[in-house]
Amino acid sequence: MEQQVFNDRYKIIAKIGSGGMADVYKAIDTVLDRPVAVKVLHKYFAEDEDFVSRFRREAQAAASLNHPNIVNIYDWGSENGTYFIVMELLEGQSLKKYISLKGTIPPKEAMSIAKKMLSALNFAHKHQIIHRDIKPHNIILTKEGEVKVTDFGIARAGASTMTQTGTILGTAHYLSPEQARGQDVGVTSDIYSAGIVLYEMVTGKIPFEGDNPVAIALKHVHEYPTPPRDINPSIPEALQTIIQKAMAKNPESRYQSAAEMRNDIMRLMEGMPITATVPEEQETMVMMPPDRTARVERPFFEEKPRRKNRSRGPLIAILVALLLAAGGWFAFTGIINGKKIVEVPNVQGKTYDAAERALKAVRLKVKEKGRQFSNTVEPGLVISQDPSPGDKKDEGSTVYVTLSKGKSMKIVPDVSGTGEAQATSKLIKEGLDVGDTKYENSDNVGDGLVIRTEPEAGKKLVEGTKVDLIVSKGPAVAQIPDVYGKSSTEAQNSLKQTGFTVTTSDEYSDTVSKGNVIRTSPASGSEIRKGSNVTMVISKGPEMISVPDVHGKPKDEAINILESAGFTVDSQDAPGSALPENDNKVVSQNPNAGEQVKKSNANITIYIGKT
C-alpha cells in the first residue's frame, strides 16, 4: 500500500493503524502539500451494494460536520473498488490507550473529556447523524490537549454487511441494549455508549465481560454492572448517578440528549446539584432466565435487606387487628375523643380566599405557610397544602398552604467572548439551561469563543429555559484558486468571486505572455481568511535591452560599455583589417547597434581589427 496514490492526489506514506473495518495510513495531500490520514476500508465491503450506497451517503454527511471536537473529513471516494476517507491527521493517542496507561482517570479529568465528547455527539445528533460505535478507541486525545471524536457515519454504513455475517453491530463491550437486540438505534444509544466510556475512564474497567460478543451483549440487556464507587471510592456519588442514568436499560430513562448529560457534568464540575436521579427501572433488577449456577448481579444502588424480627410478629398482628377494629369504629362514628373527623379537601390551584371558604365549609382553618416561585402555578394560587387532600383531621385543625409567587425569571448573562465551557457554567449558575451550540464564522471573535446567545443577553426568561450558544469558528477562510497563465481580467474575477480583494504588480517574464498572471501572493492553494488581499503578479513580457554602438571603440572600452549594459561579450580577432587606425578596435558587432534583445539572453560578439 505504501507509495500508492489515491485520486492522483493522496500519496500513502506509512500504515499507522488498523481496525475491524479499515486500515489507517499517513499520507500527503500533494495538491495542498499537507499531511492527512487516509482510512482505507477493507475490500470485501465493496461487494455489498447496500454498503456502498450507505457509505456514500454517510461519508458525505459526516464530511459536513464542522466541530472542534470532531475529526475533520476532507474527502472521500473509491479507486479500483477500494473505498477510502481522507481526514485530518492527528498527533496524539486514543482514549483507550490513555486509559490502559493510567489505569484510572481522575474524575475531574474524566468529566472534562466526557464533556467534550458529548459536545461532539450533540452537534452530530442535531445534524441527524448517530455515531453507533462510541468507544474509547474512536476518541483521540491530541498533543494539544483537545478531544476529537472520529468515525462518524462509518458504523451505519457497515450495518448491512455486518448483520449479514452474523456480527453484532458495534463493539460488544460498548453496545446499547437496543443494539444488542438488533433494534433501531437513536440518540440515546450513543448516550448509553458514552456512559460506558465514562464508566471505564473512572474505574479502569469495562462494565461487562464475556467469553464472546453474544454473551457480552446479553449482559447489556439483562444485567447491571458493579457500581463505580465499589471499584473506585473516590468517584463522587453524583457522578455515579450520571453514569447510571446514561446506562439505563430503557432508552426513555436515559438522558434524552447529549446536551442534557453534558450540562449535568458541567453542574457537577461547578459544585452544583445535578438534575439526574436514579432511574426507577434499577430499583428492581431485570433478571436472566432462571440459572441456578449464574451469579446474580446487583444494581448500582441496592436497598439493604430489611431485618426481620420474628419475636414481634404476634404483637404486631394484635396491634394491627386492634387498629383495624378501632378504625372501623371511628369510620362508623366519625368521632374521636368527642371531636368529629373530617376529610381535608383539595385546595391546590385555588386562591387563598377560595381555599379558606372550602376549608371553612368542613370546619377547618387555613394559614399561609409561605410563598415560592412556580413555573406552572399562577401567582396567588395554592401550590401545595399540608395536610394533603384526602387526609383525615379533627374539626378545627389548621391546613397550611403555600402560595405561588409566579414564574421565577432569570436574566440571560452576557457570556460573549468567553469559552464554551465557561459560558455553559455561567448560564447554569444563573438558573438557565444550555441548549444547542451553533458555530459561525467571525472576523471579530476568536475561534472557540462565544459570539452571542439566543435569546440575547439581558433578556428575561423563565428559570430553566434553554439558551443556545453561538460560538466562533474564526474568520471564514477560502483557498486561493490557481490563476497561473490566465489573463489579468479572468484571474481577478476568479479571485474576487472566491472572496478576496485584489491588487496587482508586474514583472518581466520570458515564459508568461504579456498581460497574464505569473503568480499570486500568497501562493495558489493557500487557505486564508476571506476578505484578505491577494496580489497578482502580471507579466510585462520579456525584458528587452538595446544594443549599444561600440563600432570603432577600443576593445577594452567596448567590452566595458557592453557589460555595463547587461551583455555577455565574446571578442574575436578580425584579421585583414590592415589600416593602422583600426588596430585593436571594434570593426563590427553582432547584433548590430540599436537592435532589441532579451536581457535574459543578451549575448554579443565584437570583432577586433588586427594589422
Sign, CA torsion 331/332/333/337: negative
The count of residues in the chain is 611
Q: In what order do the strands lie in the sheet with 501-507?
A: 501-507, 533-539, 517-521
Task: Indicate the angle between helix axes 237-246 and 187-203, nearest 10 degrees.
Answer: 140
**Catalytic position from the list 48, 133, 151, 264:** 133
Report whether 394 contacts 336 (CB < 8 A).
yes
- The answer to whether residue 29 is catalytic is no
Partners of 142 in the β-ladder: 92
Rounded to an integer, what distance in angstroms lies between the CA atom of residue 241 and that of residue 238?
5
Exposed e or buried b per residue across 66-93, where buried means at least 16 C-beta atoms within 10 angstroms of its C-beta? ebbbbbbbbbbeeeeebbbbbbebbebe
Nearest CA to 113 out of 136, 89, 143, 88 is that of: 136
CA distances from 565 to 19, 266, 554, 571, 597 (A): 68, 76, 17, 16, 12
Residue with cell 466510556: 197
Q: Identity (one letter) of the amino acid at 218?
A: L
SS3 of 392, please? strand
CA distance 238 to 513: 73
- Strand 139-142 vs strand 92-94: parallel, antiparallel, or unpaired? antiparallel
| Cα 173 to Cα 185: distance, rounded to the nearest angstrom | 16
Name the DSSP letter for residue 296.
P
Q: Tell me, rounded to whole angstroms, the distance of Cα 201 from its chain centroid.
A: 19
| 3-state DSSP assignment of residue 233 | coil
Catalytic residue numbers, as ranges: 133
